[in-house]
Chains A and B, each alone.
Chain A
Amino acid sequence: MGDWNVKTFLRNNAVTLMFVLLCVVFTAYSGMSPAYVAFELISRIARNGFIVLALIIPIVAGMGINFAISIGAMAAQIGLLWVLEWRITGITGLVVAAGITVPLATLFGFLAGKLLNKMKGQEMIGSMILGFFANGVYQLLFLFIFGNVIPLNTPGLVIKGSTGVANTMNLSGPAQLLYALDGLLRVRFELPGSSPAASGGTAGQNTFILPLLPTFYVLAGLAAAAALSMYLKKRVSLTKFVVIMSAAVLAVVAVQFPAVQSVFSMLSLPVATFAVIAALCLLNVVLLRTRLGQQLRAVGQNRTVANASGINVDRTRIIAIIISTVLAGFGQLIFLQNIGNVLTYGAHEQVGLYAGAAILVGGASIARATNSQALLGCVLFHLLFIVAPPAANTLFGDPGIGEYFRVFVSYGVIALALVLHVWKGAKAKKVIRAAKGAQGI
């Protein structure tokens, strides 16, 4: 990175840096304890991370942000409805719901992909409008077909004294779907010099309590060992190796301070959920290293060139949308099992918007996105969601302003990212022109 300079860095990461700044200021004014912020943040990342990662493949394939992931969410909600109707409980229920989601989301994704192929270059607006349209079909299905044409027998699932599916589908209680995945395996930390019971909360089923300091030592050690072996095999550069090593050392040092330790006092890590998110990250990486991945990237960069080399552009794009829709369905299942109830007619509506905003906040553009950008974006975006209302309360005496602010921010970020994308494109053209001029052609 010989030509690194501050100006380019600021320009290329404008959205992300702005968010970091906002988060820092708002956290300071929120008056929330770091422990509570950390607790909220972890649960929100577990809840939303997967669906944000579902956006990566279509971006790589040059189709921008797939706002039609809300259709995948609808497929997931259809799955959940039938699991509730059949009274399949717990993790089995969740797996069955996922099983129903796959064929539905594949079909919906196929249709969405077909449509988006007819409007190349306008995929984002297309997928957004498609989401609205699908919402109408979804309402028809849930208000009229289910519970009316196809009867539902489970009590509470149908609107009382009317037809159609109830406003909320309760996943807690007898359905036992609340925390079906999160609750599989949880980890809490025992701070030095205190018992976990004293730091609030009880050790429930499947919850393991680990002593904080040794856990940190082991993790830091593992990271360092991995970095060393990668470096010795020349898989990572020296700079990266040094960065990882110092991060490990820093973490071990930092965790000695009680203030840092207290951040972990309330945490209850849903390990199974994070494992699923990690698996998706891995899938994204592996997939892009296959033939299909090469085709996706080629189509994303230039459809003409891809077509000229014999790649079936339309088919590749449909595959990208199918993958994204199915993954979004899984993401919605993870989200809902954490929330515990389904707002039948609303839970899917803002999915595309918030996930899209989150990935852009992480520094992705509508043409380029990586796992780390998706995860970073998720952290920043949801951190702001947590701290904005109390900060607005401190600053303006009204938490409502914070609520408005976060909706405003979601749309604002997307608009800003779109403008920046066009702006960067114009800039790049200028550079090419200058280079051409320099060569005298």
Chain B
Amino acid sequence: MKSEYILSMEHITKAYGENVVLGDVSLQIRPGEIHALVGENGAGKSTLMNILFGMPVIHSTGGYQGQVLLDGERTQILSPFEAMAKGIGMVHQEFMLLPGFTITENIKLNREISKPTVLSRIFGKNLEKLDMPTMSRDARKALDSVGMGIEEFTLVKGLPVGYMQFIEIAREIDKTGIRLMVFDEPTAVLTESEAEKLIQVMRNIAASGIAIIFITHRLDEVMAASDRITVLRDGQLAATHNTSETSLVELAELMIGRRSDIVHRERREEPQNSAPRIALHVEDLSVEMPGEEVQGITLDVYEGEILGIGGLAGQGKIGIPNGIMGLYRAQGKAEFFGQPFMLGNPHKALASGMAMVSEDRREVGLLLDQSIEDNIIFNAMQVKGEYLYNLLGSKSPVRIQLRDSKAIRKIAQEMIKALDIRCTSPTQHTGTLSGGNQQKVCIARALALNPKFLFVCEPTRGIDIGAKQLVLNTLTRMNRDLGMTLVVVSSELNEMRSICDRIAIVTEGKVFDILPVDAPEAAYGLAMSGIAAQKEEKGDA
């Protein structure tokens, strides 16, 4: 008997240790429908798909609760290969294609058709000769079904990225018995016309009875392509709607969520007489940070403000501070307090009064097997030559500089008190601190430089709620009391809304929009999926 749903995931709950990433989420997919799955980063989309594909990361962390039914039958998928065997296919976001192989070879990778030979009779099936003509015929058929006219014996190397997406799809279609296909952000690398073509292909596939789960952050494409939509938020099921009965704005709101607990900080007194001075001006900034590429950003940061930079993961928001500080290769023009600023030199950036609290505490931010005090003064000592004294006296022209332990201890104790760093002593190694206290050491280190301009990346990532508030309070105090200009880059939109003056949303490597903190939730949701601009364009036309 055929079930109404080809896939039904019921009451799925998954926790990594204490951290619940999915709570009682259900998802039902009908045969032949395009079902969109939307949500912010960390909403639980990937975890849900990892459960569906039986990824090792799920089973090595204690499995999940709830059940998965395929075509009405209760199943337990324990490995990606099992998922494949059960007719579930994946079109990857990152292309799983071999550039040195032809299209046919890629489509038939590890599913080659072969003929027996003398060698194979002795050594087994692995030494059978490939049957290229048959393989090519199959590949041709699969390519035709996705509307690709390209020759099947072309090498994948050198093909436009748009083609690669279709080859991936053709490969999934070529697999026999495929019933359900997952498209993970398939349009992320496509041009607009290619994306339209892709959606057409998806419709054709769905019409042949194969169900599609369409994961994307582009809400307009969701509206255009899907039959039904499931929205996840913070690991919870926000809603499942028929596409015809919902709207862009409603989706955007569902994605971001209404929260009443946001306390906007007191607005600063706007200077009356003149326009605010520009602290940092970047023009056409591009940063080659893998996974967070920035592609031509122009942005002004005003003196004395807290600017928030938000956006979904992988869209480039993290790349901005990393590029300006010179941690990744960057191109473009920058001016710092009116002076031309050379990109690509972390030492100069620090010396000129910029500092950064890295998003990667453990790899970039801290020297984990060094003491708290050494971590705090490290940059100040290396960049500014502070916390050193001259063995031969301060007037001697010959300089033999040694660390000034007294001054170091003094600043460390000040910082520990001011930031409430919970530790046994200033000599405790930072590797043994909790996440929140490590973050405070990172901030202390930046403060020890006395910067006039500070980048703070993901200030509250991986720290508990009490510490979060403390870190946020510290940031506002630094801004208010020390007059420091702050740029906060964070995935936590609501936290930024509680401390920032303005928030820039970065989408696909560009500043998509700069919103005031009291803008409606839907505006943020739409900006993150890159929609408002298209509306404006249409409005202009």
Binding site for B on A (CB under 8 A): 286-287, 289-295, 297-298, 301-302, 304-306, 308-311, 433, 436, 439-441
- Quote the shortest CB–CB distance from A19 to chain B (angstroms): 26
A439–B160 touching, CB < 8 Å? yes
For B127, what are the chain A residues with a Cβ–Cβ distance below 8 Å?
287, 290-292
Assembled-state Cα–Cα distance A206/B112 (Å): 47
Q: List 7 A-B contacts (CB under 8 A).
A: A290-B120, A297-B100, A297-B101, A301-B98, A305-B97, A310-B81, A433-B288
- Most interface-central of A287, A301, A311, A441 (chain B CB within 10 A): A441
Give chain B nearest CB distance to A307 CB in angstroms: 9
Given known contacts A290-B129, A291-B126, A441-B191, A308 and B96 CB-to-CB distance under 8 angstroms:
yes
Identify the closest chain A residue to B126 (Cβ).
A292
Complex interface bits, B103-133 against A, C-beta within 8 A gives 1, otherwise 0: 0010001111010010110000111111000
In the complex, which of the residues A301, A311, A433, A441 contacts B110, with contact meaning CB atoms closer than 8 Å? A311
- Given A290-B130, A308-B80, 15 other A-B residues pairs in contact with their CB atoms under 8 A: A290-B114, A291-B127, A294-B109, A295-B126, A297-B100, A298-B101, A304-B96, A309-B110, A309-B111, A310-B84, A310-B110, A311-B110, A439-B160, A439-B161, A441-B191
Does B99 lie at the interface of the complex (its beta carbon under 8 Å from any beta carbon of A)? yes
Quick check: is B470 within 8 A (CB to CB) of the other chain? Answer: no
Given A310-B84, A311-B110: A294 touches B130 (CB 8 Å cut-off): yes
Chain B residue at smallest Cβ distance from A433: B288
- A302 contacts across to B, CB distance below 8 A: 98
Q: What B residues does A290 contact at CB under 8 A?
A: 114, 117, 119-120, 126-130
Residues of chain B within 8 A (CB-CB) of A304 are: 96
Q: Which of A291, A309, A436, A439 contacts B125 (CB 8 A)?
A: A291
Given contacts A310-B81, A441-B189, contact A301 B100 (CB under 8 A): yes
Give the size range of B's interface with the partner.
20 to 34
What residues of A have a CB within 8 angstroms of the CB of B288 in the complex? 433
Contact yes or no, B191 A309, CB < 8 A: no
A298 and B96 in contact, given A291-B114, A291-B125 (Cβ under 8 angstroms): no
Could you tell me the distance between the alpha carbons of A298 and B415 in the complex, rounded to whole angstroms?
54
Complex CA distance for A287 and B120, rounded to whole angstroms: 11
Closest chain-B Cβ to A410's Cβ sits at a distance in Å of 29
Residues of A within 8 A of B96 (CB): 304-305, 308-309
User: In whole angstroms, what is the CA distance A81 to B129 when docked?
Assistant: 38
CA distance A362 to B49 in the complex (A): 48
Known contacts A291-B112, A294-B105, A309-B110, A301 near B99 by CB under 8 Å: yes
User: For the complex, what is the distance from the CA of A289 to the CA of B117, rounded to whole Å?
Assistant: 11
CB within 8 A of B161: which of A291, A297, A309, A441? A441
What 10 A-B pairs have minimum CB-CB distances, sorted nearest first?
Answer: A309-B110, A292-B126, A309-B109, A301-B98, A305-B96, A290-B127, A310-B110, A308-B96, A311-B110, A291-B126
Give residues in B with beta carbon < 8 Å to A.
80-81, 84, 92, 96-101, 105, 109-112, 114, 117, 119-120, 125-130, 160-161, 189, 191, 288, 295
Residues in A neighbouring B161, C-beta threshold 8 A? 436, 439, 441
A289 and B129 in contact (CB under 8 A), knowing A301-B99, A301-B100, A301-B101? yes
Most A-side CB within 10 Å, residue of B92, B117, B126, B295: B126
Chain A residue at minimum C-beta to C-beta distance from B288? A433
Q: How far is the CB of B518 from chain A (nearest CB, A)?
A: 34
A71 to B144, CA, bound (A): 50
Report the minimum CB–CB distance from B110 to chain A (whole Å). Answer: 4
In the complex with contacts A305-B97, A439-B191, A289-B110 CB distance below 8 A: no
Contacts of A297 in B (CB 8 A): 98, 100-101
Distance in Å: Cβ of B317 to nearest Cβ of chain A: 18
A287 to B99, CA, bound (A): 21
**Do B128 and A291 have beta carbons less than 8 Å apart?**
yes
Q: Are A298 and B109 in contact (CB under 8 A)?
A: yes
A35 to chain B, nearest CB (A): 41
Nearest B residue (CB) for A305: B96
Residues of B within 8 A of A287 (CB): 127
Closest-CB distance, A38 to chain B (whole angstroms): 36
Query: In the complex, what residue of chain B is closest to A431 when comparing beta carbons?
Result: B158
Residues of B within 8 A of A309 (CB): 96, 109-111
Chain A residues with Cβ under 8 A from B160's Cβ? Answer: 439
What is the minimal beta-carbon distance from B512 to any residue of chain A, in angstroms?
16
Which residue of chain A has its CB nearest to the CB of B84? A310
CB A12 to nearest CB in B, in angstroms, measures 15
Residue among A291, A292, A295, A310 with most chain B CB within 10 A: A291
Complex partner residue of B98 from A292, A298, A310, CB under 8 angstroms = A298
Cα distance, A297 to B102, chains bound together (Å): 12
Q: How far is the CA of A290 from the CA of B129 in the complex (A)?
A: 4
CB distance from A83 to the nearest CB of B (A): 25
The contact of B130 among A291, A310, A440, A441, by CB within 8 Å, is A291
CA distance A292 to B126 in the complex (A): 5
Bound CA span A286–B126, Å: 12
Q: How far is the CB of B132 from chain A (nearest CB, A)?
A: 9
Are B129 and A294 closer than 8 Å at their CB atoms?
A: no
With A291-B128, A298-B109, A309-B109 as known contacts, state yes or no: A286 contacts B84, CB within 8 Å.
Answer: no
**Residues of chain B with a CB closer than 8 A to A286's CB:** 119, 129
Asked if B126 contacts A298 (CB within 8 A), the reply is: no
A436 partner residues in chain B, CB cutoff 8 A:
161
Q: Which residue of B99, B100, B110 is within 8 Å of A295 (Cβ)?
A: B110
Q: Residues of B contacting A293 with CB < 8 Å?
A: 130
Residues of B within 8 A of A433 (CB): 288
- Distance in angstroms from B411 CB to nearest chain A CB is 42
Please indicate the chain A residues that have their CB under 8 angstroms from the CB of B112 in the complex.
291, 294
Shortest B224–chain A CB gap in Å is 20
Tell me whether B130 and A289 are in contact (CB under 8 A). Answer: yes
Tell me whether A305 and B98 are in contact (CB under 8 A): yes
Kindly state the separation between the CA atoms of A75 and B101 in the bound complex, as whole angstroms.
36
Most buried by A among B110, B112, B114, B128: B110
Residues of B within 8 A of A311 (CB): 109-110
- Note all chain A residues with C-beta closer than 8 A to B101: 297-298, 301
In the complex, what residues of A have CB within 8 A of residue B125's CB? 291
Shortest distance from the beta carbon of A267 to any chain B beta carbon, whole Å: 34
Within the complex, the shortest CB–CB distance from A374 to chain B, in Å, comes to: 19
Q: Report A-chain residues with C-beta under 8 Å of the C-beta of B99.
A: 301
- Nearest chain A CB to B510 CB, angstrom units: 11
Q: How far is the CA of A439 from the CA of B163 in the complex (A)?
A: 13
Give the CA-CA distance A287 to B118 in the complex, in Å: 12
A301 shortest CB reach to chain B, Å: 4
Please give, as numbers and ranges, the residues of chain A lying within 8 Å of B81 by CB-CB distance: 310
A309 to B130, CA, bound (A): 17
The docked-state distance in angstroms from the alpha carbon of A293 to that of B92 is: 25
CA of A293 to CA of B100 in the docked complex: distance in angstroms? 14
CB-CB under 8 A from A291, the residues of chain B are 112, 114, 125-128, 130
How many whole Å from B401's CB to the nearest CB in chain A? 38
In the complex, what residues of A have CB within 8 A of residue B100's CB? 297, 301
Chain B contacts of A295 at CB under 8 A?
Answer: 110, 126
List of A residues within 8 angstroms of B109 by Cβ: 294, 298, 305-306, 309, 311
Which residue of B has the minimal Cβ distance to A288?
B130
- Nearest-CB residue, chain B, relative to A301: B98
- Which residue in chain A gives the minimum CB-CB distance to B108? A294
In the complex, which residues of chain A have a beta carbon less than 8 angstroms from the beta carbon of B111? 309
Closest-CB distance, A43 to chain B (whole angstroms): 32
Bound CA–CA A298/B111 (angstroms) = 12
B538 to chain A, nearest CB (A): 20
Closest residue of chain A to B189 (Cβ to Cβ) is A441
CA distance in complex: A347, B96 (Å): 45
Whole-angstrom CA separation of A433 from B125 in the bound complex:
41
CB-based nearest A residue for B105:
A294
Closest A residue to B81 by beta carbon equals: A310
Give the shortest distance, in Å, between A423 (CB) and chain B (any CB). Answer: 17
Q: Which residues of A contact B92 (CB under 8 A)?
A: 308
| Closest Cβ neighbor of B97 among chain A residues | A305
Q: Once bound together, how far apart are the Cα atoms of A441 and B119, in whole Å? A: 48
| Closest CB in chain B relative to A4 CB, distance in Å | 15
A432 nearest CB across to chain B (Å): 10
